[in-house]
Amino acid sequence: MNLVDDFLAHSLAAHKTYGEEASRYILECILQRKIHRLTVIPQKVWYGEAPGSHGVRLDVYLDEEDGEIFDMEPDNNSGIDDVAALPRRVRFYHAKIDAGTLMAGEDYSALRNVIVIFISTYDPFGRNRMVYTIKSGCVEEPNLPYEDGASTIFLYTKGTKGRPPEALRQLAQYMENSTAGNARSVELTRLHEMVMRVKSDREVGLAYMKAYEAEKRIREKERAKGKAEGKVEDIIELLEEVGIIPEELEKRIRAQKDLETLRMWLKLASRSKSIEEFEEADFRIC
């Protein structure tokens, strides 16, 4: 249960006692500045605008009081196709966050600054940097100020180029291997204390392991079956563990082909204690 292995998204950030404190420390270390009070929403979901259109599930959505919006994404999808698609994946995440936070009638100037942060144990660009910061700019005039409020940070835990601050280097090492031996500062010792308390919470641990096993099972099935088919079967299996699936609901699940929507339903099914809870939550986030 290392932080970069989904424990951050599924358990630590979601914890009612430690989620905000832990998330704020991680953000402050990565961004090298103070962060105000945060509202933490783990597994933030936005469905597509129409049936069949692509939705998104953000691992840790963070809303800073009188400040910016952050999305933290621990990511171990190091396959060639996954890495190649990262820039477009980030583009879509920014678009969904903007569309979901700009209210009807508001001017575009009301758009909040958004920082999407990917944390990975693989090097997404092969340049051995710990931090890659991406912002929009003008090709013809590189020095032209162009501030659209959107930026992306890729944090490669093993990177060394760019002289990353010692505190960030230690945090990156801890996130990849979350042991007491890697908690080498007062702040990391506090973070490790929070991690251990969350891990010892039986209810949290069971929820995490259920979600982790569901993810593992779906990844294994995807190797042998079509991706969508594998996810559908896992959702059905999880729901059958908590009740009898109504015929219309099963038809709806089997008819869904969008992979991101199926991933969202898989997470929801792994957390639901009844068929009714799954249906209610699904309609609520729609």
What's the CA gap between 97 and 274, in Å, rounded? 30
Give the pLDDT confidence of 8-58 residue by residue, as tens digits. Answer: 776 788 888 899 999 999 999 999 999 999 999 988 888 777 766 788 888
Assigned token pair, 140: 């013809």
Give the pLDDT confidence of 132-162 residue by residue, as tens digits. Answer: 999 999 999 999 999 999 999 999 999 999 8
Percent of the chain with pLDDT over 70: 87
Assigned token pair, 250: 């099963």
User: What number of helices (H) and strands (E) belong to the chain?
Assistant: 10, 6
106 exposure class (CB count in 10 Å sphere: 0-12, 13-18, 19+) = exposed
Measure the CA dihedral 60/61/65/66, to 10°. Answer: 140
